């Protein structure tokens, strides 16, 4: 699939294929949870300097996973908003046990190094 998707429905399976390896997804989950926690902490406590942690956690974990685990270019560079939405969608689906059908439909679990744990 081309890097540029015309619709979010077309982007979602591409996004999942770009996150084919389980360690990549786990690092994304950690980054998403930590980023969200830092945002909530900053807003609740009005500790405004902590807002800097939101992108550090969110992008840091994701970009490290793409550089050293998946070895591909983060989808954020081509579709920043859809990528952010997909990070939260993937994390929510994983935490609620509903990600596996999406991975199968996107062909991710056919990846030679992908674990079938999801």
Are 52 and 34 in contact, with CB atoms under 8 Å apart? no
Q: Any idea where the domains of the chain sit in the sequence?
A: 14-110
Q: State phi, psi for 98 to the nearest 5 degrees.
A: -115, 15
Tens-place pLDDT, residues 9-33: 999 999 999 999 999 999 999 999 9
Tens-place pLDDT, residues 39-89: 999 999 999 999 999 999 999 999 999 999 999 988 888 899 999 999 999
pLDDT at residue 5, rounded to an integer? 80
């Amino acid at each position: 699939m081309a890097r540029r998707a015309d619709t979010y429905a077309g982007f979602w399976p591409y996004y999942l294929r770009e996150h084919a390896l389980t360690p990549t997804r786990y690092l994304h989950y950690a980054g998403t949870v930590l980023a969200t926690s830092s945002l909530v902490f900053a807003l609740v406590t009005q500790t405004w300097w902590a807002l800097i942690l939101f992108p550090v956690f969110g992008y840091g974990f994701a970009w490290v996973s793409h550089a050293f685990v998946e070895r591909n270019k983060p989808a954020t560079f081509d579709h920043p908003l859809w990528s952010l939405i997909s990070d939260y969608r993937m994390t929510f689906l994983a935490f609620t046990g509903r990600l596996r059908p999406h991975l199968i439909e996107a062909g991710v679990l056919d990846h030679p190094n992908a674990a079938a744990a999801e």
